[in-house]
């Protein structure tokens, strides 16, 4: 039981600590004195802050239901500026004699407004784009106006792709074709000759180096993309033969996303620099070195080389990269290249927050231990009862082992008809009483035996979340990626429950049961009791990278409402964009239903029910209205 004075003593500082918000929030999120999560988008003006619960209130007043994906444009701007400032500072300090050019890989978040903001705010720094497909190239060509900004083309390129790229080159775009496969070169040379336009070429190299992390299959000998050293030499020879070696301008590699360890980053840079120098030795013009993505986000705030974190800061990343490049090139007396990185995740992760409400909870209630047992209770149940009574901090593990043994034996007896339903229920209650008591006793232990790690999970509540994991946080389901999640209000109250989250897809995979923890991974999340007639709102943070388009229509739960916010230094803010989420009719049409036809079919069924006297004609009208309202409605739970 939680004591009342502990509840009263709880402070927002304790909440900030409990949810690690200052560790993963990167200065963009904090807790206010009244227990709200606030957005602090200006890293140099902490006074400017906007409360998320107040934003939610404003959204509800405007008729926008949960779940909502909230985007904060200022945060995106800030991340772009930080990246460029960091590189600029490192280059000035170390004496680098060229410049940094970032490009944003479109696949990380393809939404129009993201590209618009990146090209607009990034324009100050000549921030460019990276396209990996025809559709992305077309989007990039339309969005990018700055002739100084680079447009890097990775991925398979067919004739249409190449022609478009060559025309763009003629128009003045700084567009690079990066060879991912040796076979691509012939088609490019052929189209270049046919159109009379010389391309800027790059090679994507296969790194021998391989990094740790979730997404790092891009590195290593077995990576599926890129050229090995023999193939790079073949490309050089082919270009020499065609008298086009001056078109080879860039070396590119991509080690994988979310590289947690700075050592892996340095090793890859060194390897790439050697290839770069080698190409200059071969007579290629060069001038550009593209280090790909990989700059990680510290999702759990632990600042370690764990997969959800990173053991370096942005400044350290930039300084290490610049230093490693200079070391190799200075040694060879070669000019410093224009440095390009393709950071996606680190630019956009922070700026989106998924907000949702809790619809209901299923509480774990520990059954009380009976005072005594009924007559004729089977011996095994009596033994279980004795084990429960004698459990103490000294014998927790032993008692639990006994409990599991007795419970399983009793279940066996039940199957064979030797234990009644009522007796089995009694045994299960004693068992769960013990589990709950053990969880309490473990708090007194300094060291919890690893076998008992899962105990808290067994007795956690289930909070039902109005969202779909598959649609809004697909990486959580697909690869067990962990995002910071916390309540966005009531942080001046002590959270007294521990819970896992279940979404509304009714799929047993539609849950979140791993949470950030400074030391490992937590199996449950501290949450508050629900209050009558009051919504309880949570946020999943740092979801701006990859989650939006990877999400799917599992159970036909569609896109959420999306709102973009622009915050001003005086704490005021504008909802600059609202995009209503999918309606039921939208998602049905995605899977080829024709909403009109569905309505007609249902009307026929309703008419038949009228004919058969099951409903009246007037009822048919109401039923049809409900059907049509449903079609127009949001796919999520509406209050
Ligand atoms: C995915 C990808 C990126 C983006 O990586 P981040 O880790 O998100 O920065 C960059 N370049 C290429 C070629 C990619 O495939």
Q: What is the pLDDT of residues 105-162, one digit of tens each?
A: 999 999 999 999 999 999 999 999 999 999 999 999 999 999 999 999 998 899 999 9
Query: What separation in Å is there between the alpha carbon of 223 and the centre of ligand 1?
Result: 14
Q: Ligand 1: does its nearest atom lie under 6 Å from the Cβ of 102?
A: no
Q: Which of 103, 106, 127, 130 to mutate to test the pocket of ligand 1 (most atoms within 8 A of CB)?
A: 130
The response to whether residue 108 sits with its C-beta less than 6 Å from ligand 1 reads: yes
Q: What is the pLDDT of residue 7?
A: 58
Report residue 401 as tokens.
């082992």
Separation between Cα atoms, residue 71 and residue 53, nearest integer Å? 15
Ligand 1 atom nearest 256 alpha carbon? 7
In Å, the largest CA–CA distance within the chain is 99
Does residue 342's CB lie within 6 angstroms of at least one atom of ligand 1?
yes
Helix, strand, coil percent values for the chain (each to nearest 5)? 45, 15, 40
Residues of the chain with pLDDT under 70: 1-8, 214-223
What is the 235 CA–ligand 1 centroid distance (Å)? 24
Residue 216 Cβ inside 6 Å of ligand 1? The answer reads: no
Tell whether ligand 1 has an atom less than 6 A from the beta carbon of residue 295: yes
- pLDDT value at residue 93: 98
Measure 296 CA to ligand 1 centroid, in angstroms: 11
Q: Does ligand 1 have an atom closer than 6 angstroms to the CB of 343? A: yes
> For the segment 283-300, what is each residue's pLDDT rounded down to a tens digit?
999 999 999 999 999 999
Q: Is 257 in the pocket of ligand 1 (CB under 6 A)?
A: yes
Per DSSP, helices labelled H in 221-366 are 229-241, 262-281, 314-331, 345-348
Contact (CB, 8 A) for 50 and 38: yes
Cα 202 versus chain centre, distance: 31
> DSSP labels for 135-173?
HHHHHHHHH---TTSEEEE-S---HHHHHHHHHHHHHT-
How far is the centre of ligand 1, averaged over its atoms, from the C-alpha of 259 (Å)? 11
Alpha-carbon distances of 554 from 173, 425, 474, 497, 540, rounded to whole Å: 40, 37, 10, 29, 19
- Rg of the chain (C-alpha set): 30
Nearest CA owner, ligand 1 atom 2:
293
Ligand 1 center from residue 59 Cα (angstroms): 34
Q: Is the CB of 252 under 6 A from ligand 1?
A: no
Q: Is the CB of 105 under 6 A from ligand 1?
A: yes
Answer whether the bond into residue 67 is a cis peptide, omega within 30°.
Answer: yes
Considering Cα of 88, then 93, then 99, then 101, what sign does the dihedral take?
negative
Phi, psi of 536 (to 5 degrees): -120, 120
- Closest Cα to residue 153, out of 138, 171, 143? 138
Residue 122 in contact with ligand 1 by CB distance below 6 A: no
179 CA distance to ligand 1 middle (Å) = 16
Report the pLDDT value the prediction gives residue 1, as an integer from 0 to 100: 47
pTM of the model: 0.91
Could you tell me which of 12, 30, 11 has the C-alpha nearest to residue 21? 30
Ligand 1 atom closest to the Cα of residue 294 is 7
Please give the pLDDT value at position 156: 87
**Ligand 1 center–CA 253 separation, angstroms:** 10
| 195 burial via Cβ count (<10 Å: 0-12, 13-18, 19+) | middle
Strands (E) in 472-616, as ranges, are: 485-487, 497-502, 511-512, 515-516, 521-522, 525-527, 537-540, 561-567, 573-579
Instruction: Name which of 489, 494, 492 is nearest 51 in CA terms.
Output: 489
Residue 559: partners with Cβ closer than 8 Å, 6 or more residues away: 471, 551, 579, 581, 582
Pocket test for ligand 1, best of 254, 289, 340 (most atoms within 8 A of CB): 254
Q: What pLDDT, on a 0 to 100 scale, did the predictor assign at position 311? A: 94
The per-residue pLDDT for 222 is 54
Pocket probe mutation, ligand 1, options 83, 344, 349, 475, max atoms within 8 Å of Cβ: 344
Distance CA 365, CA 453 (A): 20
Closest CA to 483 of 538, 527, 526, 541: 541
292 within ligand 1 shell (Cβ under 6 A)? yes
**Closest residue CA from atom 3 of ligand 1:** 293
């Amino acid at each position: 039981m939680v004591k009342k004075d502990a509840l009263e003593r709880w402070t927002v500082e304790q909440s900030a600590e409990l949810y690690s918000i200052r560790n993963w929030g990167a200065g963009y999120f904090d807790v206010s004195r009244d227990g709200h999560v606030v957005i602090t988008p200006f890293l140099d003006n902490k006074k400017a802050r906007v409360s998320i619960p107040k934003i939610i209130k404003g959204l509800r007043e405007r008729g926008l239901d949960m779940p909502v994906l909230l985007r904060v444009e200022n945060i995106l701007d800030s991340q772009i500026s930080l990246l460029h400032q960091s590189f600029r500072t490192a280059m000035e300090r170390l004496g680098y004699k060229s410049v940094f050019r970032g490009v944003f890989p479109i696949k990380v978040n393809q939404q129009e407004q993201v590209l618009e903001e990146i090209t607009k705010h990034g324009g100050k720094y000549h921030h460019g784009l990276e396209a990996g497909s025809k559709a992305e190239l077309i989007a990039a060509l339309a969005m990018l106006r700055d002739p100084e900004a680079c447009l890097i083309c990775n991925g398979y390129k067919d004739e249409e792709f190449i022609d478009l790229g060559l025309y763009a080159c003629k128009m003045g775009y700084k567009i690079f074709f990066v060879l991912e496969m040796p076979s691509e070169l012939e088609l490019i040379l052929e189209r270049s000759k046919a159109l009379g336009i010389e391309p800027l070429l790059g090679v994507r190299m296969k790194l021998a180096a391989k990094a740790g992390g979730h997404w790092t299959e891009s590195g290593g000998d077995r990576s599926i993309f890129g050229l090995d050293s023999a193939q790079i030499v073949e490309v050089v020879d082919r270009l020499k033969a065609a008298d086009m070696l001056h078109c080879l301008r860039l070396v590119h590699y991509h080690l994988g996303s979310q590289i947690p360890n700075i050592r892996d980053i340095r090793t890859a840079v060194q390897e790439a620099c050697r290839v770069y120098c080698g190409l200059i030795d071969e007579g290629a013009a060069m001038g550009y070195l593209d280090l790909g993505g990989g700059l990680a986000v510290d999702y759990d705030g632990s600042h370690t080389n764990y997969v959800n974190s990173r053991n370096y800061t942005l400044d350290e990343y930039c300084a290490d990269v610049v230093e490693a490049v200079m070391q190799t090139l200075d040694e060879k007396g070669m000019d410093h290249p224009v440095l390009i990185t393709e950071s996606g995740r680190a630019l956009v992760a922070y700026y989106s927050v998924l907000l949702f409400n809790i619809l209901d909870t299923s509480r774990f209630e520990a059954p009380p231990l009976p005072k005594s047992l009924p007559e004729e209770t089977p011996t095994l149940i009596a033994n279980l009862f004795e084990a429960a009574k004698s459990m103490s901090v000294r014998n927790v593990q032993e008692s639990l082992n006994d409990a599991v043994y007795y419970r399983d034996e009793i279940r066996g007896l039940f199957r064979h008809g030797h234990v009644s339903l009522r007796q089995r229920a009694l045994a299960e209650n004693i068992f769960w009483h013990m589990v709950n008591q053990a969880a309490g006793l473990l708090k007194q232990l300094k060291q919890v035996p690893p076998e008992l790690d899962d105990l808290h999970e067994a007795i956690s509540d289930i909070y039902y979340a109005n969202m779909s994991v598959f649609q809004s946080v697909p990486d959580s389901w697909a690869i067990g990626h962990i995002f910071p999640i916390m309540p966005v209000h009531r942080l001046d109250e002590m959270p007294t429950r521990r819970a896992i989250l279940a979404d509304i897809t009714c799929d047993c995979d539609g849950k979140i049961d791993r949470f950030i923890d400074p030391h490992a991974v937590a199996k449950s999340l501290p949450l508050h009791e629900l209050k009558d007639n009051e919504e309880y709102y949570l946020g999943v943070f740092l979801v701006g990278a990859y989650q939006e388009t990877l999400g799917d229509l599992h159970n036909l739960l569609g896109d959420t409402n999306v709102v973009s916010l622009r915050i001003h230094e005086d704490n005021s803010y504008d909802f600059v964009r609202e995009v209503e989420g999918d309606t039921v009719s939208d998602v049905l049409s995605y899977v080829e239903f024709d909403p009109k036809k569905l309505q007609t079919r249902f009307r026929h069924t309703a008419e038949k029910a009228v004919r058969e006297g099951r409903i009246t004609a007037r009822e048919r009208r109401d039923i049809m209205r409900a059907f049509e309202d449903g079609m127009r409605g949001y796919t999520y739970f509406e209050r």
